[in-house]
Structure 1
């Protein structure tokens, strides 16, 4: 008869800078819309688990008994704090038609 017990734990935290610049051209309305963004995106991740197994064997009539159990837990949290500076301009004259600056902070959590 034998048994095994094991456990693990893993943690990853990371911070990063996010820069983006996207634009769309609307040739029907003769406009260009720009969507530049700048901000910080961070991650907190961890996971842990445990595993156990029990083995039994007999020789006379070849009795064998095996039992294994595994359990784990995962967690991830992502925070994004990003500033946007959206603007729409005339495609021909480059005249600014409208502008919207805003800050978006969001938190996404995953568990399992």
Structure 2
């Protein structure tokens, strides 16, 4: 695990080397789950449109204020791309949203 400091915000990224070490991903649905907050829903839709994931999980881990998120995403679009570049892809897609966050826990997987 490593963290990238950006002014007052810290982005936390996590990657695991072997497929057997990957955490169990939550189920992905093409429809946005009803229980999601507005922020979670916006992130979910944006990532689903751009990365066409086979599995996607988005959760506000800030207690509801929208300043920290956990994202787990598996996509065929990550094939042949190292983990750092996978994370950069997600960060680029969410760059405007990330500006207002204090942190992001991100797990990516090739699916």
**TM-score, normalised with respect to structure 1:** 0.21
From the CA coordinates, give the structure whose radius of gyration is larger: 1
**TM-score, normalised with respect to structure 2:** 0.21
Higher strand share: 1
Q: Which has the higher contact order (CA 8 A, sep 6+)?
A: 2
